[in-house]
Structure 1
Amino acid sequence: MIKIGAHMPISKGFDRVPGDTVKIGGNSFQIFPHNARSWRASIPSDDVSNKFKREMKRCKIDWENAFCHCGYLVNLASPKEDVWEKSVSLLKTEVEICNKLGIKYLNIHPGSHLGTGEAEGMDRIARGLNEVLNTTKRVVILLENVSQKGGNIGYKLEHLKKIYDLVDQKDRMAITYDTCHGFDSNYDITKKEGVEALLNEIEDLFGLEKLKMIHLNDSKYPLGAAKDRHERIGKGFIGEKGFAVFFSFKEIRNVPWILETPGGNEEHAEDIRKVFEIIEKYGIEVE
């Protein structure tokens, strides 16, 4: 079974997410644990978390297919001590929100070193992650690959590996692969040899079992453009044929796919249908 969904709004309550996911044709989802543009976050009440868990059960969504994404302000690579400290504090709260809701995975962008250099940035990220992981429980942090722009760390998978190696609790660390970010950074998944190279790199660096989520996004710009502009499925430079190549690998189909494409629930429903159209059109066998 293909595990697919989208980043879902929480404005009407966490408990609406599982049902809305099913309505758009999904069985997986990603949410923000709070207002993503704020440093403020609060732990949900027992009533809120219990309603959410009941809806998860009613909608028969596997907990392995439920993800949170950290807020936009978090930057563990920041050389600004106040920003770094607020990032660590907020990430701890986000982990506790995940724990209260029962969500196992929290996805983060590694961060931007703001011109101070990748090595220093990676050290700060690992120091922050150790602080978070050593004072919280259960939740697994997913490091996401990012576009090669500005001072971003993580546009190469080897960056994620260097951070991973510096973290104490490796059992609570895994990765997310974003197709647009990867395409921006010269990971060409439109060709069979490109996908094979990607999978081999993940296996060599982490083991494929550490790949827990794929952000499924087309790209508004060509390979290597480093623009970080997501596009609807099949409408960008990865395109239908490119995604058909990507989907043809069993290792890719085994991982939940989460759309972060432009638009809301209606557009995401259309993109989910498009994914299955591509699978059918190109004769991809789904177990």
Structure 2
Amino acid sequence: MTRFFTSKRLMVLLASFILLAALVGLTLRERENPTWPEKMLIDAFGWMQGAVYAPVQHVAGFFEDMQHIKQLYEENAKLKANLNDYSSMRVRIQGLEQENKRLKEDLGLKSNSVSDLQLIAANVIGRSPSTWNSEVTLDVGTKDGVQKNMAVITANHGLVGRIYEVTPYHAKVLLITDKGKMGISAKVTSDELGYGILNGSSVDVSQTSKPMLEMSGIKLGAEKVKLGDSVVTSNVSDIFPPGLIIGKITSIENDKLGLTKIAQVEPAANLNNMDFLYVVNQAKTGQ
């Protein structure tokens, strides 16, 4: 009971103080200088205002900070979303650029193709390190019109090899750099006597950074044959259409018996980096 009356008295005192301060404020409007009791009352009321105002400001500042943090979080989430969209767009653009480049090469191939060849586009889907210079696997097969012994080339006309095994959905390509199994009938374009047989070279790949070809059986009378000459498939080949680009001569010398010439040929096709190839739809009988 005593506490109730004490609290009640405090409330009455506080209300009286506020009422008195209000009356002082009203009377001050009519006078220029307050009396000393009014000054004391104004100061006391000011201290009370300060005591109440400071905590209120802290609380208000806390909620403002929370709102600012929320805004920063939302902005950060938007920036992350934009970054993800940008990354996805960049990947799509790179893919489109590669596809565009490939299509341009395809267009150049079809408009300048050898003997108006019919082509079957294919992706390289398999290549084993143990047979790196011997074979690759394509994602096309008999359902696409692929047959055994069809030639395989790049978009830049470079001969890659021939189909030696085919299923309805896949085909294996024997590369021109395979040693001993290809036996390509080839011709040096600079000399009408420059015929020979091409196989994978025995030159150490580590010395050239790429697999090479060896053209043997060139007649000694083919005097026009020189370094840098182009080598193509001949018109007497049992497998390949004539005129397919094979590569360029990098060295030439007589064989051990001095009866014919042997040339090292650098393939026109980049056989270390093949993703997209063409099967020439023109099979011939043979090996």
Range of TM-score over shorter length = under 0.3
TM-score, scaled relative to structure 1: 0.27
> Which one has a larger percent strand, Structure 1 or Structure 2?
2
Specify the structure having the higher radius of gyration (Cα).
2
TM-score, scaled relative to structure 2: 0.27
